């Protein structure tokens, strides 16, 4: 990691702004899916790809982007990623039909993968080593702030300006970050095309995730589309045997952190499924306004941010694994309490359950990351961190598709009016419960 000759706190602020934008985008688009479905005259399943289309390249390119960014200059890579991210936001806002919107979101997800990798690098390399803890806290604080404000900002925009505005709200922040990077970032290194091996890794991961997502979303029309999902297994196995996947497979085997990483995926998928299904239920059958829905959904990130402040302290006192296990159990409890969702529930009755689940996520996140990183062999910390981020991003991508598939199956099999939503929320709670089981199954590290 290069040592800076002087502290550049403006670049740390730029990293925080990009973290804010990234987290805001992930929260605000889910809220707009009902309006997108109506505005573009498409089914909710097609509109869902406005979110899934962003997540797919983000998951596929997260690890390959890290390898590519080790070989190019930070400044030109950041300017390219920020400019591409902002440009794709404009294209998404101008979309006249669904295919245009999905294509813009796919391209935006590719640029977002570069931003996700570069944000911590930019913060860490802009100050002296003794100040890195303080620097890393800036994006770590502004990211959750984006998650908290995203639903509220999105709700107000949807009610007053329509769904296209949610893609444009990020432009001023992107412009500010780009200007800071252009003026203050050292002019070192240039750009070069990615290696052929990295592109092959991205193609395998992307094809695996796409086969699962397509199988889950298309099964609403015909169940036989679910046969696409098993095709992901040989693709993942092939990737794990390639140079890009071999370090990950070796790390999981030597550090024995497969269970902890799987728990991150399961918990993220459970949260994402619940978040998506509740937003659609509030905007659809209940007919809530976008602002009212946003204020209800705000309870989850608020609980997460408040409890996250104590997760590290509890981990230092009790240990990382017990704290992570407690957090997963609290999340599972909060999601389980949402399963009997009733049309008579007020926003507050939904909100306190969401806040409980969010508090569990806040307690779980940092300790689980510490658990995986502390088990990693020396020299493999970056790989361990990338593996956790990959599992979390994969969970966020799969959650809404899994929740939708379960809800549709419940609607077909049940007789009650809310059977589908109950089935989808039950799956979300089950995924969180599986994270508890994975963390409870302790295996000694090989270190």
Per DSSP, the residues of 364-388 read HHHHHHHHHHHHSPTT-HHHHHHHH
Q: Give yes or no for a contact between 158 and 166, defined as CB atoms under 8 angstroms apart.
A: yes
CA neighbor of 360 nearest in space, from 257, 255, 259, 274: 274
98/399 Cα distance (integer angstroms): 22
For tokens 């296209």, the residue is 164
Which residues lie closer than 8 Å to 188 by C-beta, 6 or more apart?
A: 2, 73, 74, 75
Q: Give yes or no for a contact between 61 and 392, defined as CB atoms under 8 angstroms apart.
A: no
Phi/psi of residue 5, each to 5°?
-80, -20
To the question of pTM greater than 0.85 for the whole model, the response is no
Helices (H), 96-188: 98-124, 132-160, 165-168, 171-184
What tokens were used for 287? Answer: 């007919």
CA-CA-CA-CA torsion sign (403, 409, 412, 413):
negative
203/210 Cα distance (integer angstroms): 10
What is the helix (H) or strand (E) element at residue 310, kind and residue range? helix 299-318
3-class SS at 59?
helix
Q: Which residues of the chain have pLDDT under 70?
A: 1-5, 27, 130, 132-134, 136-137, 140-141, 144-145, 147-148, 220-221, 254-255, 312, 373, 378-383, 385, 413-418, 442-447
Phi/psi of residue 72, each to 5°?
-125, 170
pLDDT score of 275: 85
What is the helix (H) or strand (E) element at residue 330, kind and residue range? helix 320-338
pLDDT score of 447: 41
Q: What is the DSSP string of 177-194?
A: HHHHHHHHS-------PP
CA distances from 189 to 75, 194, 268 (A): 8, 15, 36
Burial of 304 (0-12, 13-18, 19+ CB in 10 A): buried
Which residues lie closer than 8 Å to 438 by C-beta, 6 or more apart?
A: 259, 260, 262, 263, 266
Q: What is the number of residues in the chain?
A: 447
89/167 Cα distance (integer angstroms): 5
CA angle 364, 424, 343 (to 5 degrees): 105
Q: Give yes or no for a contact between 239 and 205, defined as CB atoms under 8 angstroms apart.
A: yes
CA distances from 287 to 32, 36, 55, 150, 372 (A): 14, 16, 27, 20, 43
First to last CA, the chain: 25
Q: Give yes or no for a contact between 410 and 252, defined as CB atoms under 8 angstroms apart.
A: no
- Kindly tell me the number of DSSP H helices and DSSP E strands found in the chain: 18, 0
186/257 Cα distance (integer angstroms): 37
Q: How far is CA 33 from the centre of its chain?
A: 17
Q: Give yes or no for a contact between 253 and 377, defined as CB atoms under 8 angstroms apart.
A: no
């Amino acid at each position: 990691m290069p040592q800076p000759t002087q502290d550049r706190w403006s670049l740390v602020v730029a990293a925080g702004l990009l973290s804010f934008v990234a987290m805001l985008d992930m929260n605000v688009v889910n809220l707009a899916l009902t309006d997108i479905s109506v505005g573009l005259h498409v089914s909710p399943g097609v509109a869902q790809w406005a979110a899934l289309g962003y997540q797919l390249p983000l998951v596929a390119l997260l690890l390959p982007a890290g390898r590519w960014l080790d070989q190019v200059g930070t400044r030109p890579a950041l300017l390219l990623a920020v400019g591409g991210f902002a440009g794709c936001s404009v294209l998404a806002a101008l979309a006249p039909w669904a295919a245009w919107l999905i294509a813009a979101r796919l391209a935006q997800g590719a640029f977002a993968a570069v931003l996700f990798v570069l944000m911590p690098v930019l913060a860490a390399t802009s100050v002296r080593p003794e100040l890195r803890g303080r620097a890393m806290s800036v994006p770590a604080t502004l990211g959750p702030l984006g998650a908290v404000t995203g639903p509220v900002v999105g709700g107000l925009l949807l009610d007053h300006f329509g769904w296209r505005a949610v893609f444009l709200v990020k432009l001023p922040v992107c412009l500010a970050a780009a200007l800071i990077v252009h003026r203050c970032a050292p002019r070192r290194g240039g750009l070069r095309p990615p290696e052929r091996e990295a592109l092959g890794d991205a193609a395998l991961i992307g094809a695996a995730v796409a086969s699962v997502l397509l199988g889950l979303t298309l099964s609403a029309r015909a169940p036989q589309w679910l046969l696409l999902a098993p095709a992901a297994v040989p693709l993942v196995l092939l990737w794990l045997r390639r140079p890009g996947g071999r370090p990950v497979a070796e790390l999981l085997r030597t550090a024995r952190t497969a269970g902890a990483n799987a728990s991150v995926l399961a918990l993220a998928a459970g949260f994402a499924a619940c978040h998506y299904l509740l937003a659609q239920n509030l905007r659809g059958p209940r007919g809530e306004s976008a602002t009212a829905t946003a204020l209800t959904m705000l309870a989850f990130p608020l609980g997460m941010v408040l409890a996250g402040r104590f997760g590290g302290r509890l981990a230092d006192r009790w240990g990382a694994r017990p704290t992570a296990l407690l957090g997963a159990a609290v999340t599972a409890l909060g999601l389980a309490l949402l399963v009997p969702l009733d049309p008579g529930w007020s926003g507050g009755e939904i909100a306190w359950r969401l806040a409980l689940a969010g508090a569990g996520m806040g307690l779980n996140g940092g300790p689980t990351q510490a658990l995986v990183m502390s088990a990693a062999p020396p020299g493999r910390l970056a790989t361990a961190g990338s593996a956790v981020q990959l599992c979390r991003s994969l969970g966020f991508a799969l959650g809404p598709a899994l929740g939708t598939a379960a809800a549709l199956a419940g609607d077909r099999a049940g007789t009650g009016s809310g059977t589908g939503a109950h089935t989808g929320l039950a799956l979300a709670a089950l995924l969180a419960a599986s994270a508890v089981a994975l963390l409870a199954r302790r295996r000694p590290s090989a270190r």
